Each structure stands twice: as structure tokens, then as C-alpha cells.
């Protein structure tokens, strides 16, 4: 399986919250995983926010950031250029998405087109999950709630 993980899914690799274990288990079995390059800033911001709010200790947040630095080079990173942003704008209008969610959807769709194989979007953001399914991408988990956890918006 080829998986595109948005920030709400990626944060679950570094913060123990609802869905973390299932996300880790699913990602262990994937052939390849990718994300938009902007996810690096989003995950870092989510970790910093979790530390500020006392959800993570400063030590645990810094350890999570260190782990992110180690795994980041192993993931496919989709570049965000003007063409992708223009596509994201169209998708935002069509699917009523927030800006970065539209960028994630555009990145997953572009990646699927480039590789010519199905891409599964891993997200815990309900709007992105619905939009990805509507746009012809596979989605994981099979059902999602409106809960975004710490990976929602930083």
C-alpha cells in the first residue's frame, strides 16, 4: 500500500492519543509513505503546542522532534509549488477545505497521478477524509470522526 499521511496522522506517530497505535500499526505495513513538505512545519508546530499546553512535557516534545528529524528523510516529500497551490485553491472551493487541508489533498492527488498507482490518504480530519474519498483517493481509517486530536491545526 502507498500512503499519503497528512499532519493529523503524522502527529500520531509522535504523540500518544486516540488512533496512535492503529496509525503506527498501519504505517508499519506500507510499501511507501509520503507527505507534503509543509507537514514538517505543521508537525513541529503541533508538538510545540502540545508542550505549551502541558499535553507533552518539554522533554517528551523535544524527543518527538528528534524522532521526526530521524524519520523525515525516509518519507517521500511532495514539493509544494505554485501549480500545486493553484490546484489546492480549486480543491478548497470544491470541497470546502481549509488551506493546508486543500494543499494536502492536492499533494496526494498529484502524487497518485505521477506514480500511476492508488494512493491511500491517512487522515483524522473529517473534511479532508471526505474530500479525499470524493476526489477518488482511498482513505484510512475506514471511518473517521470529527476528532482531530493534537495533529489538527497548530
Give the model confidence (pLDDT) of 22-62 as tens digits. Answer: 999 999 989 999 999 999 999 999 999 999 999 999 999 99
- Domain containing 91 equals 2-148
The phi, psi pair for 138, rounded to 5°, reads -75, 155
Would 101 be classed as within a structural domain?
Answer: yes
Give the model confidence (pLDDT) of 57-93 as tens digits. Answer: 999 999 999 999 999 999 999 999 999 999 999 999 9
Would 109 be classed as within a structural domain?
Answer: yes
Q: Name every residue whose Cβ is closer than 8 Å to that of residue 121 and which is 6 or more positions away in sequence.
A: 3, 4, 5, 6, 104, 105, 108, 128, 129, 132, 137, 138, 139, 140
Please tell me the predicted confidence (pLDDT) of residue 144.
Answer: 67
45/26 Cα distance (integer angstroms): 24
Q: What is the pTM of this model?
A: 0.91
The phi, psi pair for 55, rounded to 5°, reads -75, -35
CATH number assigned to the domain comprising residue 52 = 3.40.50.1010
Would 114 be classed as within a structural domain?
Answer: yes
Would 103 be classed as within a structural domain?
Answer: yes
Q: How many domains does the chain have?
A: 1
Residue 148 has pLDDT above 80, yes or no: no
Would 153 be classed as within a structural domain?
Answer: no
Cβ-based neighbour number of residue 86 at 10 Å: 11
CB 105 within 8 A of CB 82: no
Amino acid at each position: 500500500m502507498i500512503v499519503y499521511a497528512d499532519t493529523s496522522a503524522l502527529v500520531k506517530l509522535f504523540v500518544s492519543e486516540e488512533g496512535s497505535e492503529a496509525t503506527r500499526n498501519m504505517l508499519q505495513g506500507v510499501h511507501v509513505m509520503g507527505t507534503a513538505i509543509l507537514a514538517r512545519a505543521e508537525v513541529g508546530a503541533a508538538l510545540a503546542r502540545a508542550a505549551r499546553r502541558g499535553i507533552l512535557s518539554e522533554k517528551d516534545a523535544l524527543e518527538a522532534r528528534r524522532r521526526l528529524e530521524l524519520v523525515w528523510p525516509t518519507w517521500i516529500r511532495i514539493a509544494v509549488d505554485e501549480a500545486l497551490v493553484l490546484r489546492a485553491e480549486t480543491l478548497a472551493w470544491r470541497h470546502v477545505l481549509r488551506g493546508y487541508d486543500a494543499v494536502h489533498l492536492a499533494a496526494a492527488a498529484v502524487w497518485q497521478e505521477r506514480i500511476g498507482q492508488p494512493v491511500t490518504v491517512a487522515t483524522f480530519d473529517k473534511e479532508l477524509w471526505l474530500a479525499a474519498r470524493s476526489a477518488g483517493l482511498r482513505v484510512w481509517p475506514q471511518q473517521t470522526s470529527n476528532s482531530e486530536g493534537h495533529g489538527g491545526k497548530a
